Amino acid sequence: MKTVADYVITIPDFPEPGILFRDVTGVLQSAEGLRLAIDELQKRLEGLDFDVIAGAESRGFIFGMPLAYNLGKPFVPIRKAGKLPRAVVRKEYALEYGSAAIEIHKEDIRPGQRVVLLDDLIATGGTMKAAAELVEELGGQVVKMLFLLELAGLEGRRTLEGYDVDSVVVYEGK
């Protein structure tokens, strides 16, 4: 039986020499791979008490929406700055070369809500840390951070220490 990792395309030397780029589009391009990915993510939520799934733009939307649908939960988009039309909370975070910002509508997370944060990949953990801070600023509680892929060599779990972090596929390198 195939695993999610069997559908991930590894591209050597991208974006620079020595890097193995893990491309999830191979998962999306296969009906079997996509179904397997959603099923594996959903297994990691079994028995967890939560109210809402929030996904980071854009691949967090791709994997988070089917989970929310399957589980009868609302979905909250976490967007890049400037993309949401109503009042937002915003968090800037550091990138390797510069910074970025993400936003959530102020009314999308209510005080006391138990939130699952989702993205396709955990690398350094910066995006998800910023997402967690947004949820917490609005009074929500992050009960799990869920990823399809993890690049363990970039130590994102260290950045997310104190949170329940789970990944379907873990690659030891960067």
| DSSP single-letter state for residue 135 | H
Spot the catalytic one: 96, 158, 161, 172. Answer: 96
Cβ atoms 37, 29 nearer than 8 A: no
Closest CA to 106 of 130, 89, 118: 89
Q: Is 100 helix (H, G, I), strand (E, B) or coil?
A: strand
Closest CA to 26 of 15, 37, 14, 16: 37
Closest CA to 154 of 12, 19, 64: 19
Our answer to whether residue 57 is catalytic in this structure is no
For residue 60, which amino acid is it?
A: G
Q: Are strands 141-151 and 114-122 parallel, antiparallel or unpaired?
A: parallel
Spot the catalytic one: 59, 79, 103, 150. Answer: 59
Our answer to whether residue 157 is catalytic in this structure is no
Cβ atoms within 10 Å of 90's Cβ, excluding its own? 14
Give catalytic residue positions.
59, 96
